[in-house]
Structure 1
């Protein structure tokens, strides 16, 4: 069964410009979907629409078979930047929005999941960029969303930190049974993480290819099959 369905979805701005052409796709439970494309093809706009942060769209979005518009309790979001509140400690940032006397206990459970339980009393200014993004992932997961949307979550990080967090994300996916949709312009990242790729191209964006990636995870980053798929994607994007 599909956890997310998109039917004839498109977004036109008040200026008359289109973000992307009408899209139709379905996402199954526990899939990791990559939305891949060059800058300006509507990737981030699409993710904001799916998250309910942008409701000025046409078409239908269904979660577990039910049409909805706006934010949804089953959908979590991770931005490009951590967006932590500097006056709150790490555990308070993760617990922000939760209720009840055990909210800090729950926050610390998810900090442990991302390997930061020993930093719960720190402030965001005391964290590295990679650590701050781990906190952001914990904050998105603490409400146990069925679907986690990630908008280029590792784009601002160095290559080694990025690879470490990609592996962390796969660990989180394995433990939390979440469905994930990741916007990225990093082909290697998409091939390493995802079950399927939706490749957008042009201005406005058009879905030009849906690519299924076979093979169990964790994958070998230097795998020849992935290298072959990368060449195919580069051609599709006209790079």
Structure 2
């Protein structure tokens, strides 16, 4: 397994517990959705896996080595693009990247073309729409060719049409490099459309209450009847009444 999480708990200094006793694995090239109501520790779990938050108990292993050692190549996409306003689009993509700057810039230009931003390389963030800014964030997350890509509700602030466009773009990019992806989302439809497997979290502190295999091969239709049935199951697990 590429990623293994074993009996992992995150307890803060004030006594609050974000999640407890979480265990799961993720295979090479798998897209795993972390789904649940607000406050059950999903985003904190992503930060813990990324190495941004080291105050946990249990084990998080990447290729059998502790994530605390900062081994492996991990990319992270946040809810907001977090672009630096004083840098151009291409400068944002390569910012902080070590190595040959010219080579990385060429790579960034290729990525920007792949995410549909050819011609906007020298624009500044204030000149971009929300969807365009998030495309820059996708390119930035991919510039290091990560083996694991962590996505924390990356499309939640976008309108429905832009969200669907970027979901399809993400699948296209995934098809090229087959990175393992962990996607935090509140959107059940998004999770069923993008993911191979869903981990359903519930409670405060968050606990893993169910693992669901998405029963549909790609490419998927957003209105698929089989996915709609799985959505009903997930709503029931989360104790959410579905209005028809």
**Is this a same-fold pair by TM over 0.5?**
yes
Q: Secondary structure at the match of 1:228?
A: helix
- Residue in 2 that maps onto 1:166: 167
Q: What is the alpha-carbon distance in structure 1 between the residues aligned to residue 78 and residue 69 of structure 2?
A: 17
* 1:156-235 to 2 correspondences below 5 Å: 156-235=157-236
Structure 1 residue 150 displacement after superposition: 0.3
TM-score by length of 1: 0.97
* CA spacing shift, 1:84–1:38, aligned 2, 3 Å: same
* 1:30-179 to 2 correspondences below 5 Å: 30-69=29-68, 71-98=70-97, 99-100=99-100, 101-179=102-180
Deviates more, 1:94-103 or 1:151-160: 94-103
2:33 corresponds to 1:28: no
Q: What is the alpha-carbon distance in structure 1 between the residues aligned to residue 229 and residue 210 of structure 2?
A: 15
Deviates more, 1:119-128 or 1:60-69: 60-69
TM-score by length of 2: 0.95
8 Å CA contact 2:93–2:108 kept in 1: the answer is yes
Q: What is the alpha-carbon distance in structure 1 between the residues aligned to residue 38 and residue 124 of structure 2?
A: 33
* CA spacing shift, 1:191–1:151, aligned 2, 3 Å: same
Q: What is the alpha-carbon distance in structure 2 between the residues aligned to residue 80 and residue 168 of structure 1?
A: 17
Structure 1 residue 90 displacement after superposition: 0.3
- Residue in 2 that maps onto 1:6: 5
Deviates more, 1:29-38 or 1:17-26: 17-26
Q: What is the alpha-carbon distance in structure 1 between the residues aligned to residue 239 and residue 87 of structure 2?
A: 45
2:208 corresponds to 1:238: no
Q: What is the alpha-carbon distance in structure 2 between the residues aligned to residue 224 and residue 189 of structure 1?
A: 15
8 Å CA contact 1:51–1:72 kept in 2: the answer is no
Q: Any idea what the Cα deviations from partners look like across 1:151-192, whole Å, max 9, x if unmatched?
A: 000000000000000000000100122110000000000000
Q: What is the alpha-carbon distance in structure 2 between the residues aligned to residue 228 and residue 57 of structure 1?
A: 36
Q: What is the alpha-carbon distance in structure 1 between the residues aligned to residue 72 and residue 103 of structure 2?
A: 20
